[in-house]
Structure 1
Amino acid sequence: MKDLKKEDIKQEVFDLYDDYAHNKLNRRQFVEKLSLYAVGGITVSSLLSFMSPNYIDCLLVKANDPTLDSDYITYESPKGGGTIKGLLSKPKNSKTKLPGVIVIHENRGLNPYIEDVGRRTAKAGFISLAPDALSPLGGYPGNDDDGRTMQKKRDRNEMIEDFIEAYNYLKSHKDCNGKIGVVGFCFGGWMANMLAVRIPELGAAVPYYGRQPSDEEAAKIKAPLLLQYGELDTRVNAGLPAFEAVLKANNIAYTAHIYPNVNHGFHNNTTPRFDKEAADLSWSRTIAFFKEKLK
């Protein structure tokens, strides 16, 4: 079997994976379409394995990092029933109150990648909270396929309320200075936009390749935005011109970056859609943005 490299994979395969990851294809349909690209020593099973996330080898900040206090907390779900579990992370032995950042997962629950991003955020000097919107259904199930299936069962408006409650939890935390930002990826990018719509006091929002709110919703935004997009992500990027028009018309502070020749999910270092150069640059911009807006 051929050892696959990113350059071996046609763009159409990444596009197929995007459709699969966003529930436009079920697994059977994805595998059937993937078989068209199983040529020249490349098998369907090798393609599936290569495109699947590798959580074991890709963590940048270990769960037991000695410089952090990182543990799970719970808070009440306002409308979804039960409690929401989240990973709360902060620098150990901080002498001052810290700005807070809500870290919002993709459409599959609080998986190891998003937990890692929460810890990365804390390493940069923030108190971070990464909630799991799947908590009312039992929480992230241990794999992304089942996570996507579970998340489809939740009402998105109820999930908005859950993440607004995360803002309230973090804002009132004894170690937080009351200045809160949000960063989210894919579904979490849309949710970051929606928190900016719903929370006038939000300090800053950084949606990564997230769907844009409606024109009416976007006009309500008060928080400064840092918008992060991948050039090859035509599905999400199609909504950017209209979004920018509303932001400009309402004098809403924003900066948009479109990273050249990268896919949806380019920040996620557990799959081959990852692009290190774009991920590192976008993340440095994210941290600098939060440090400026949440001080």
Structure 2
Amino acid sequence: MSEVVSLPQPDSSEPLEVYVARPDGARRGGLIVIHEIWGLTDHIRDVADRFAAQGWLVAAPDILTHAGVTPAAGTELFALMNDPDEKVRVAAQPRMRDALAEAHDPGYAAWALRALRTAVDWLAAQPGAGGRLAATGYCFGGTYTFLLAASDDRIRAAAPFYGAAPDTARIAAIEAPVLAFYGGQDATLMKALPTVREQMAAAEVDFTPVVYPDAHHAFFNDTGSRYDADAAADAWAKVTVFLADAVA
């Protein structure tokens, strides 16, 4: 069963819209699913439903509408940027930059973390979820999965997909084990990964990176042009076991 709930936010008149997917049977725990840069699209709702089928009470908050990109707008941008015609993709790039400008502002990042913690507060209060909380996210959401784990010690496991790790100080604040997924053809993240490994080790974070050599950024999104079915299937098998074990 799924629904959208509106959560009040401290110090804000703007409610936080959250897609909630509920398991049919006993609850394994509570899981935050953080969307890609395209927002709370149908793909992310489907991912939330898949985790709910594994027994999770899932909260997938919409943290991009606040920056001006609604799920409908994000879906349209995604279609343009994944169009097989290169001319269409190139023509859409200025629109993409303009649409996401606010999401790159430092003030937005502070708001987004507060919003995510509002969703964690809600999950923690639900029967069968409190004390057994985890987080996962994709791309933009992968980055915020790292940040949420660094800012909220209620998160017992974090599974970012192709997200950028935070700075050294925030890495040192991560207490949960981290299982991070990367596409080997994702040049920016691959260049950064050796340093991330060193920083995680220095901070004694339980950090396990999984790299799929032939996969690209966004390999898990089965609606996009970079989808890699083999990598996605293996990542799904690994992440479901990891998250379940962490809250057992």
The two structures have a TM-score, normalised by structure 2, of 0.84
2:187 aligned residue (234, 243, 259): 234
Displacement of 1:192 after TM fit?
Answer: 0.2
> What's the counterpart of residue 175 of structure 2?
222
5 Å-filtered alignment, 1:272-283, equals 272-283=225-236
Instruction: Let me know the Cα RMSD of the aligned residues.
Output: 1.9
Amino acid corresponding to residue 77 of structure 1 in structure 2:
Q
| Secondary structure of the corresponding residue to residue 176 of structure 1 | coil
Choose which of 93, 102, 122 in structure 2 pairs with 1:153: 102
> What is the alpha-carbon distance in structure 2 between the residues aligned to residue 266 and residue 90 of structure 1?
26
Alpha-carbon separation, structure 2, partners of 1:240 and 1:177: 33
Does 1:123 find its partner at 2:53? yes
TM-superposed deviation, 1:252? 1.2
Paired residues for 1:101-140 under 5 Å: 101-136=31-66, 137=68, 139-140=70-71
Closer, same or farther in 2 for the Cα pair 1:253/1:139, shift >3 Å? same
Which runs of no fewer than 5 residues in structure 1 stay unpaired?
Answer: 1-68
Percent identity among equivalent residues? 28
Displaced runs of 4 or more, over 4 A: 146-151
Could you say which residue in structure 1 is the equivalent of 2:242? 289
CA-CA distance at 1:243 after TM superposition: 1.5
- Asked which structure has the greater CA Rg, the reply is 1
TM-score, scaled to structure 1: 0.72
In structure 2, C-alpha distance between the alignment counterparts of 1:169 and 1:151, rounded to whole Å: 27
> Which one has the bigger helix percentage?
2
Deviation track 1:166-201 (CA, whole Å, cap 9, x = no partner) reads: 111111113424311111000000000001110123
User: Which has the bigger relative contact order, CA under 8 A and spacing at least 6?
Assistant: 2
- Distance in 1 (CA, whole Å) between partners of 2:33 and 2:27 is 19
Aligned residue for 2:209, secondary structure, equals strand
| Count of aligned residue pairs for this structure pair | 225
